[in-house]
Chains A and B, each alone.
Chain A
């Protein structure tokens, strides 16, 4: 029996606000426990939420980047459940009328695929819950500890249609979303700190079937590696059950990276158990066209669009463009060099070669690289190579000196006397000197011993301390010797 996996993702991304979504507490990561809490995020009776305008703006930006339609009116709803990470007894989320719906990532929109359209079901705003600590205390057998700093942090939840078919594809898509949200400046992409999290819904069906199998939700997929491995495991687990004719239960499973398996967490709570209802403490979120338009116009360039533009504008190969855009900021470095008259091909070679190597070697970011050696400064080094003032090999050394000292290419080349000798008269003078000192070799050359010529070139190059163009020396020497014949 041939079957295929059907996968949909639910991604939670923290929005880059300074304060929480419904109160003024800070969203900064790593503060001592329960120091970023107030009556609103602690759920004290009578405390009222007030919506953070920036959280909405970031949410709209994320929705637009995913090609969604922003609803003119969306409604906050209470999702009711009891768990100590949620002191109010409900999470403020959006349900029937989310912030935005019906987005699309088109097939082959970017270098990594996907090979088919990935539809975005919805994008909605909600608050994060607090953090539970289950281990590490003397009474951890009987007690859990609660830090509510995180409670009330603004999130967007992005839900895809079940359009993904393979674990690898899902991981690629999650990578695409991460890059997109970071480029949009909506999310910091930090999965270790929990700023970006992913759950997946997985089912299995026979290849020819149109209907979906029983859906299993897999949680705790908070790295690309875990996502791919957990999905591979879960797909195989379900396929095996199908082969044995065992029923697949609708449930939530947790990825356990220690055992490399998914383990059952709870049987699926049905949606109506949450008893969603409109949040009476918040008015409907009404967004006029002008606000959405303003956000759309201020959006940074999306990575996929940027890659297409770089390919077209500078005639670069796809792989080069991918390499330029994969480390944020390298593409900007490249484009600024070109703005300073660098040849795009040469600029690309330098950025992906020396600049990238230096960033890795010195363990600096692109921003630090810029302040040590600006794109404009590097462009002026390329200009020296292009006009023949120094050789490409010498430029590597000048690059190193520029990075270490912050001096300009012109200054280094002048102060260290590195400029190539491109004055024919000066080279001719050096040739005359070499010939005068090597009468025997000259005689041998004239007697027909061609190999001597190479020796004489070497002597002249030595006299120029390697700063003359060897081909030029070749030509001038040959001319001079033949004239003497």
Chain B
């Protein structure tokens, strides 16, 4: 039994991820995502009552740091990788986003 994944659902996910897909890709991803969900359905058949959920495989928990300020990046270096920036103002620049 395979799980159906519609191309409309693929479109919704693609929109959230800001991806533009061709028709061929839509069909391909619908099938592949369906296969993945099918696998999830199989896994869900296993009785896990009494088993605590695993959010992470990391078992060591002493993974925090003291609250100490460390040097930040040089501003020009920080802006250097941006597609667009206003170095004089020290700001990143993007297409206007408020509507």
Contact = CB atoms under 8 A, between A and B. Distances in A.
Interface of A: 17-19, 23-26, 32-39, 42, 44, 50-56, 75, 80, 82-84, 97, 132-134, 137, 140-148, 273, 275, 278, 280, 282-286
A17 B66 CA distance: 10
Given A35-B75, A84-B97, A146 B18 contact: no
Contacts of A19: 67-70
A25 B78 contact: no
Q: Which 10 A-B pairs have the closest CB atoms?
A: A24-B70, A54-B67, A146-B92, A283-B58, A145-B91, A278-B55, A53-B64, A51-B64, A84-B94, A33-B90
A132 B97 contact: yes
A284 B64 contact: no
Interface residues of B, number: 34
B73 interface: yes
Contacts of A145: 86, 89, 91-94
Contacts of A147: 90-92
A83 B97 contact: yes
A52 B67 contact: yes
A235 to B, nearest CB: 27
Contacts of B81: 44
B91 A133 contact: yes
Given A25-B72, A42-B78, A146-B93, A50 B63 contact: yes
B81 to A, nearest CB: 8
Nearest to A280: B56
Contacts of A38: 70, 72-73, 78
A317 B80 CA distance: 63
B65 interface: yes
Nearest to A24: B70
Interface of B: 16, 18, 55-56, 58-61, 63-73, 75, 78-79, 81, 86, 89-98
A142 B91 contact: no
Contact of B92 (A35, A53, A84): A84
A278 B55 CA distance: 6
B61 A286 contact: yes
Contacts of B56: 75, 278, 280, 282-284
Given A145-B86, A146-B94, 6 more contacts: A18-B69, A24-B69, A37-B72, A53-B64, A146-B91, A147-B90
B72 A144 contact: no
16 contacts: A17-B67, A18-B69, A25-B70, A25-B72, A52-B67, A53-B67, A82-B18, A132-B97, A134-B97, A137-B89, A143-B96, A147-B90, A147-B92, A278-B56, A283-B56, A283-B61
A144 B90 CA distance: 13
B89 to A, nearest CB: 7
A23 B65 CA distance: 9
Contacts of A132: 97-98
Given A24-B70, A144-B95, A56 B86 contact: no
Given A19-B70, A52-B64, A283-B61, A32 B94 contact: no
